[in-house]
Amino acid sequence: MQKEYFKNIDETLISEVLPNGLTINIIPKPQFSKSYAMFATNYGGADRRFKLAGNWIDTPAGVAHFLEHKMFDMPDGNALNVLSSRGASPNAFTSSGITAYHFESTSLFDENLRTLLSFVSTPYFTAESVQKEQGIIGQEIKMVEDNPGYVVYYNLLKCLYASNPVRDTVAGTVKSIAEITHETLYHCHKVFYNPSNMTLSVVGNVDPEKVIEAARELLPSAPGEVPERDYGEKDAETPHQSVQKASMEVSAPQFLFGSRLVPESRGTSRLRQMLVGEIALRAVFGSSSPFYTRLYAEGLINSSFEYELDYTAGTAMLVAGGESRNVDGVMNELKDEIARISSEGLNKTLFENAKKAHFGSLLRVLGSFSTMSQAMADGAFADYRPLDAFEEIKNIELADVQNFITQNLTTEKLALSVVSPLER
């Protein structure tokens, strides 16, 4: 068990890699009454083709999400009910890159953790339960297809990526999930839910030794093979399409624009790239930036405007957008802003303010046990520690952020997705 104290933020990180390959990260917070645990696998909706024991295997779209739905089933009941009966708040999610199961509780943490580790590592599926779930997930898929937010987002991904499966919805399609059987689920669970491909993140009032001991006791002792993933042919440097448009029942046009990044694969270089990108986006699109304040004052954007930097399934992208009755006007203003930064440089005061603001947001994350747990899970899968960000951010300079902006927000790299109101 490794223990490191981060003096600059007054936090302690306890880490352990078990002989079975499981990475455990714990941030003890004895001054709080609550605790949070996340048990995650490096397996998401985009992991549909993989190599195991030298053989390539193809699976239907939606298996990772389907597994998430079914993992709470146990021979003698449902894990959600068990955890809830003990006062815990359990849930799970599947993204393109990971699947995570988590809970928060103020009491009986050790018992709840043991339940979490047990049901996630012990699958229980039947042909009948899988068939029933196909109907439930099928309804969920249809609801997503009618959601403008999902449509505008996935249309943008279809612009950015020609072949990478991140362009497809995590839940799959009604047709693809019809191909999923209980044998499919058992097989993919065995492949991806092995401890070598998983991580456990815990934040709160816990005994670290008990956390590690529970994982040692309840999980398989031997490491498993971590499969190689195939995300399709390498995409071109420019977007697959520049624009996608759709019409739906919306009161005003919704839009997202984005750009693909070349992701740093692992370690401190990944963490640094993330920090540079997040500061850059804050400098250009943050609520105190000239771009945002000017467009807001002119009525081109409203408070729905947001931005994010996303790394998943071997990809990285920046995405921004919201609601506007003049999307063309927003995009023209954006192009002018990037041209101005390219010509005049990024204002130094703006950079310093964005850097300070981002440092503050990192500090606030320390108070969010769920966000911190997910950050540690993401870091475990990419070999970096989120707590190192507080030192690494000091090394980021104006030129780093300016280069990020001028390299990744160029006209030829940007793609646009718009959902407009139906014509009457």
Check which CATH number belongs to the domain holding 297 and give it: 3.30.830.10
> Tens of pLDDT along 19-45?
999 999 999 999 999 999 999 999 999
- Residue 372, domain member (yes or no): yes
- Over residues 14-18, mean pLDDT: 98
Identify the domain boundary among 207, 229, 251.
229
pLDDT of residue 244: 96
Query: Are 216 and 261 in a shared domain?
Result: no
Identify the domain boundary among 229, 256, 287.
229
- Over residues 66-87, mean pLDDT: 94
Query: Are 137 and 258 in a shared domain?
Result: no
**3-state SS string for the chain:** CEEEEECCCCEEEEEEECCCCCEEEEEECCCCCCEEEEEEECCCCCCCEEEECCEEEECCCCHHHHHHHHCCEECCEEHHHHHHHCCCEEEEEECCCCEEEEEEECCCHHHHHHHHHHHHHCCCCCHHHHHHHHHHHHHHHHHHHCCHHHHHHHHHHHHHCCCCHHHCCCCCCHHHHCCCCHHHHHHHHHHHCCHHHEEEEEEECCCHHHHHHHHHHHCCCCCCCCCEECCCCCCCCCCCCCEEEEEECCCCCEEEEEEEECCCCCHHHHHHHHHHHHHHHHHHHCCCCHHHHHHHHCCCCCCCCEEEEEEECCEEEEEEEEECCCHHHHHHHHHHHHHHHHHHCCCHHHHHHHHHHHHHHHHHHCCCHHHHHHHHHHHHHHCCCHHHHHHHHHHCCHHHHHHHHHHHCCCCCCEEEEEEECCC
pLDDT of residue 112: 98
Query: Are 153 and 215 in a shared domain?
Result: yes
Query: Are 193 and 337 in a shared domain?
Result: no
Query: Are 163 and 282 in a shared domain?
Result: no
CA distance 124 to 75: 7
Q: How confident is the model at residue 413 (pLDDT cuts 50, 70, 90)?
A: very high
CA distance 278 to 401: 9
Query: Are 260 and 223 in a shared domain?
Result: no
Q: How confident is the model at residue 234 (pLDDT cuts 50, 70, 90)?
A: confident
pLDDT of residue 423: 81
C-alpha angle 47-53-57 in degrees, rounded to nearest 5: 40
Residue 209 a catalytic site member: no
Identify the domain boundary among 205, 229, 253.
229
Residue 287, Cβ density class (10 Å: 0-12 exposed, 13-18 middle, ≥19 buried):
exposed
Which domain covers residue 370, as residue numbers? 243-421
- Over residues 64-90, mean pLDDT: 94
Contact 12, 6 (CB under 8 A): yes
Query: Are 202 and 249 in a shared domain?
Result: no
- Residue 237, domain member (yes or no): no
CA distance 257 to 160: 10
Query: Are 214 and 325 in a shared domain?
Result: no
CA distance 178 to 218: 33
Query: Are 345 and 296 in a shared domain?
Result: yes
Q: How confident is the model at residue 210 (pLDDT cuts 50, 70, 90)?
A: very high
Q: Name which of 145, 282, 204 is nearest 25 in CA terms.
A: 204
Strand-pairing partners, residue 16, are 24
pLDDT of residue 317: 97
Query: Are 218 and 253 in a shared domain?
Result: no
- Residue 285, domain member (yes or no): yes
Strand-pairing partners, residue 57, are 50
> Tens of pLDDT along 384-409?
999 999 999 999 999 999 999 999 99
- Residue 235, domain member (yes or no): no
CA distance 308 to 325: 22
Q: Is the pLDDT of residue 424 over 80?
A: no
What is the CA 382 to chain-centroid distance, rounded? 12
pLDDT of residue 303: 95
pLDDT of residue 68: 96
Single out the catalytic residue among 4, 11, 16, 68. Answer: 68
pLDDT of residue 77: 86
- Over residues 289-300, mean pLDDT: 96
> Tens of pLDDT along 88-129?
999 999 999 999 999 999 999 999 999 999 999 999 999 999
Query: Are 176 and 253 in a shared domain?
Result: no
CA distance 347 to 44: 40
- Residue 112, domain member (yes or no): yes
pLDDT of residue 235: 84
- Over residues 325-351, mean pLDDT: 96
Q: Is the pLDDT of residue 192 over 90?
A: yes
pLDDT of residue 144: 86
- Evaluated on CA atoms 357, 360, 361, 362, the torsion sign reads positive
Q: How confident is the model at residue 214 (pLDDT cuts 50, 70, 90)?
A: very high
Q: Name which of 45, 415, 416, 46 is nearest 236 in CA terms.
A: 415
- At position 166, the amino acid (one-letter code) is V
Count of structural domains, the chain: 2
Query: Are 410 and 333 in a shared domain?
Result: yes
- Residue 382, domain member (yes or no): yes
- Residue 234, domain member (yes or no): no
Average pLDDT of the chain? 95
Q: Is the pLDDT of residue 237 over 90?
A: no
